[in-house]
Amino acid sequence: MENKQKNFGKVWKFGKNIDTDIIIAARYLNTSDGKQLAKHIMEDSRGDFYNMISRGDFIVADENFGCGSSREHAPLALKEAGIAAVLSSSFARIFYRNAFNTGLLILELSQNDIDRISEGDELEVDLLSNKITNHTKKEYYNYAKIPPFMLELLNAGGLMPYAQKQLKEQI
């Protein structure tokens, strides 16, 4: 959610244990170009998913999103495809860190709240109020607070832009 405090989009719902090979299949890992990778996100589970989504949409999934390999290609591909955020009840540890390093917003919600969100719902995430609004169901959800340093990474666009900014400030 680069430098944005609010985002509005449609929900695409997935189950539990969505691994990085489902997010971006290994056969596409011959590049690290995020724009090329984006064209193939969720391809093995949803076909031409890239052409079904709109910039600003959300992926909502059950527990253990991003399990599997430690590659940064998965969160990079989601970010470049225009996914505003991934909402899940838990994330694989390495995916969690890679998401922030690449500038992809991820939010942890209770499993109960994840269960209440349906595919096609329209959500709005407000980072200032720490609240998600489900405009379709007229419900509100809270998510686990994002540590301040992780917010700095997101606002910078990821770890590399953050580091470049820090170096420029020191010069």
In tens, the pLDDT along 112-166 reads 999 999 999 999 999 888 899 999 999 999 999 999 999 999 999 999 999 998 8
Residue 4: pLDDT band (50, 70, 90) is low
pLDDT tens digits for range 18-28: 999 999 999 99
Distance CA 99, CA 87 (A): 12
Confidence (pLDDT) at 129:
87
- Asked which of 2-6, 42-46, 167-171 is least confident by mean pLDDT, the reply is 2-6
Pairing of strands 58-61, 6-14: parallel
- Is the separation of the CB atoms in 9 and 54 below 8 Å? yes
The domains of the chain, with CATH numbers, are 6-170 (3.20.19.10)
3: phi > 0 → left, psi -120 to 50 → alpha, else beta; which? left
Whether residue 94 has pLDDT greater than 80: yes
Q: Which residues on neighbouring strands pair with residue 23, listed in sequence order?
A: none
Alpha carbons within 13 angstroms on the beta-carbon side of residue 133 total 10
Q: Residue 143 phi/psi, 5° resolution?
A: -130, 160
CA angle 105/128/52 to nearest 5° reads: 40
**Each residue of 7-40: b (16+ CB within 10 Å) or e?**
bebbbbbbeeebebbbbbbeeeeeeeebeebbbb
Question: Look-up: residue for tokens 């680069």?
Answer: 2
The pLDDT tens digits for 31-41 are: 889 999 999 99
3-state helix, strand, coil in the chain (%, to 5): 40, 20, 40
Reported as a pLDDT band with limits 50, 70 and 90, residue 51 is very high
